[in-house]
Structure 1
Amino acid sequence: MNDNLRTHMVTLLEDENARTCVYFICQAEDAEHAREQAMDMYPQGKITNILKSPKPGDTVWWNDPDEDMASGHYQVSVVDSDSGDIEYPGTMVLIKNRHGSTAEVPASELEEEHDVEHLANDVRDSESSDGCGGDYTIVKRSCLIALLDQLQVAKLSQKANALAATQQALSQSMEYAEKLAGFVQHVAALNLWGYDKDDGNPYQECEDPDEGHSDSHNCLMELIEQARRL
């Protein structure tokens, strides 16, 4: 069994003269795979929608048949079938929008989530100036609300991504600052020998090492190496 396969429902017209849609349900890796299978079955077909069987939590677009009054994005709560997948066009799906409104609708009324570009095209295609004066126009309410909602979500997502990037940068900066502070403290803790203070008096922090200059040189080299690794 191929774990990459998901149930897909393809909606299409059998040919250019068809007035009603047919539904082709198959197992496919993605929408393109489902399209290929549907076109093999209906070579003259015109595909109008491809829906991957949704899972609870997925976002879908509901086309409300009641003059699009409640059309928009909804989150899937339950796919009412024994398999948990769409088994036929009338498989009922319980959905809920962000305002808490719920509906139980047939799978045939659902589409994949609409992105901003899709929604913008929906608004433009719904435009009408009938009965309007001046620069006023009419667009479908459900399309406009969905577009505004999606733009708001996209804006919040951008802000969240920017905040996450800022937090990561701050965290990295703090980590680097802690390393630098530790290095400075390590150097400051070393003992001075054979060196006078500004007032001319020698430091009395330790006895002169037996191999003083050699030891100091090795210590300096080690410090340079540590500094380069920071």
Structure 2
Amino acid sequence: MRDKRNVRRGNPEAWAMKLFWSSRSPFARKVVMVAHETGLHDRVALIPLPIPSPVPCVELHRANPIAKLPTLIADDGTAIADSPVICEYLDHLGGGSLFPVPGPARWRALGRQALADGLMDQLLLWRAELRRAEACRSATLLATFAGRLDASLDRLEEQAAGGACGAGFDIGDLTVGVMLAYLDFRFAERGWRDGRPALAKFQDSFAARPSAIATAFAEN
């Protein structure tokens, strides 16, 4: 039996879609998880790129002028950028299980997605600030990041305790799970589980999903 994972990464021309990604990017992992959840992962060639990339990728720049990861090239050649857009496209292609139909459930799911996406943006900025020389770091900015993270995690704990987070499994739950996994990957010292038992239980369930196991974060 062929190793589909290796073929998928090694021979892009044999696959219908291409995804420019990094195994360190939470937004890229989110998209690849959706591909697994919708059963489309065997149709997507993963084109790994380092972050930052020392040499510009001509094909990525041609598809997406800002060269942002992740970027998907659909089977008709259309370039699709921004992880929420790519996720909804793949979900539609795969039968529509992660994005609820218009109504209260959809707005709740999209709200959780937006909160988790916003936190992932903050975490990337936070990490960039921490990589600066200590004398150049902004204590005010670091305190702002920490405060926003704690407040947002407390909000998610309330939602998880009330049954709103993880009641089914939608795009909001998936994005929250990826964000928490990124916290474990890059900010393990934060100990986010302390005092948040419902959210920790949700994350244990998320981490056991086959799609989460198949897409674990890794250094390039």
Normalising by the smaller structure, the TM-score range is: under 0.3
TM-score by length of 2: 0.24
Higher relative contact order (CA 8 A, sep 6+): 2
Highest Rg: 1 or 2?
Answer: 1
Q: Flag the structure with higher strand content.
A: 1
